[in-house]
Amino acid sequence: MRILGIDPGYAIVGYGAIEYEGNQFTTLAYGAVTTQAGVPFERRIEQVYDGVCQVIDCYKPEAISIEQLFFTTNQKTAIMVAQARGVVLLAAMKRGIPIFEYTPLQVKQSVVGYGKAVKHQVMEMTRILLHLKEVPKPDDAADALAIAICHAHAAGSSINKNMILQAVGKKPLYDSKGGNLTDGQRNLLRAIAASEETVKGKSTSKTCGGRSAKK
């Protein structure tokens, strides 16, 4: 499965593209879409949208994972980041790519195994899991890669694998309690099932202005 993780913002939007096959990670590239201070906010939002669209078109992810917003202090900043996050979601929806959202707690738990891990622990474990020589920079890109890893782990769980088998077999899909699956769960199945049928050996030489992985 090809996953694009995104750390939303209006000044810096971190992104990280990875492949996850057979419990193995391959880092395709990482980087950031940036906007300049002093530029009218609506123009910065447009630049975020255009930049994210370029990244999506380059790496053609089968799923996009993005962190849920969590602010406790600066409401003005929260609103501006939320608006930037909105155009990121719009870019994905316009291309029909499933979107999956994770809380900071879920990302820490998935990457480090501890929901209260501090930032440098998450960044170092991201480096280790992706077999990189150094922690990705900028920090926003490292965060985006961690979010992508979180989705890879969620999508690769044994529960989801069982669901995929049902999807591939075109059987009715129900949850463990006999209820119908949610749209989000169905999107997850479609994305993973599609990745199972994708021909192996996709090119990873394109960087689209980002930084290709160096092992």
The residues annotated as belonging to the active site are 7, 67, 140
Query: Residues 17, 148: contact at Cβ < 8 Å?
Result: yes
